[in-house]
Chains A and B, each alone.
Chain A
Amino acid sequence: MILDIKERLGKTKYDIDKSYAHITVDDRICEKCPHHFCVMACPAQCYTMQDGKLNFQYEDCVECGTCSIACDQGSVKWNFPKAGKGVIYKYG
């Protein structure tokens, strides 16, 4: 019953906008970030640390907005996806 986060995200439906990332991060700011709290806060594991460097991907984003508050360094730029793209809940 206990599932890895990737497996759980696999249950959720998306229509990914391959041409537009609705969230962007500024690598230069992330490099100097003292906490990388986004890695803990994001419920969809969009933020991970790889070899001491922050890695971000928007494809699994469930559009909760948590990272826009978690990031207090001014790196995260948050917009809504366009034209209904992104997460599509079947239950909600």
Chain B
Amino acid sequence: MTTTTTTTTAKVQNPSYSEAFQSGVREEMTRNPGIFILGTDLIERGGHFAQVKGIAQEFGHERVKDSPISEAAMVAAGVGAAMYGCHPIVDLNFIDFAFGAMDEILNQAAKIRFMFNGKVPLVIRATSGVALGGAHHCNSLEALFASTPGLSVAVPSTPMDVKGLIKTALRAEDPVIFLMHKKLSGIRGEIAGENYFVPFGKAKSVREGKDAAIISYGYSIVTAQKAAQALEAEGISVEIIDLRTLFPLDEEAINNAVKKYGRVVVLDEAPVFGSITAEIAATATERNFSSLKGPIVRVGGVRAPISANPAMADAAIPTVASIMTAVKKVMSY
């Protein structure tokens, strides 16, 4: 059997999640000559998720730099160039590859502003999240980055937010970890024009509710919406709040949800021990204990590496059923 790649020129549909990223980057690169992209496999395939496809052809190889597989040097190159006054996007393809550059990210990029009278306007983009591909490509590292002073973390769930957040990140002075979920790569949706920016630290309500709230981000928003629809049929109305960034974290939106419903589920794919969901539950409980009708329930990943077997991979992360169970639990208080 053979396969053939075809290129469609006519855009009959809304842009995809990856195309939304391209759109935001393209606009900002046109505006700011200091922006360049550095990573592996960005020229022909445009990155493993086609996230920068066509940009090298449009802007040239000096602004989309084809790098060897040297994660530490890739991030260091971004850090040094950012300190010098450029605004690099280091594309790691998969966030799992950040392990090879962890000192450059956590110990260097994050701390330079604090000590050295300089700025590090750097975006580290990577695809994250649990999907097929097994243990080495499915780590959920967002809590590690969000808990490091000096770093910000974006976790968009829609094309609209991808574009709005990357544009903001490319106007900022700080290192940003920009995480795009594997399973969202192909989703389509509207995007806004070049003057639309999504601020960091501002969550968005993506579904109205009357009884309880689910606070989440990334691909879990999709699963949460399916669960909310099923719950609606059972007479339970759930609001879904998409955090969009994990640091800065929209504590106001979280507090408002707690005050409004007193019944809150926090959801993501990371193993629950030491996760963002732990952070949210603890903070909300400390701040608004008296508003809660019962404990905040966390739904997250199991404490196991992600298996390559599809059923085992699914079993490691929240499902529609497990989210419904959690919502019913908070409704029982």
A and B are partners in one complex rather than unrelated chains:
no
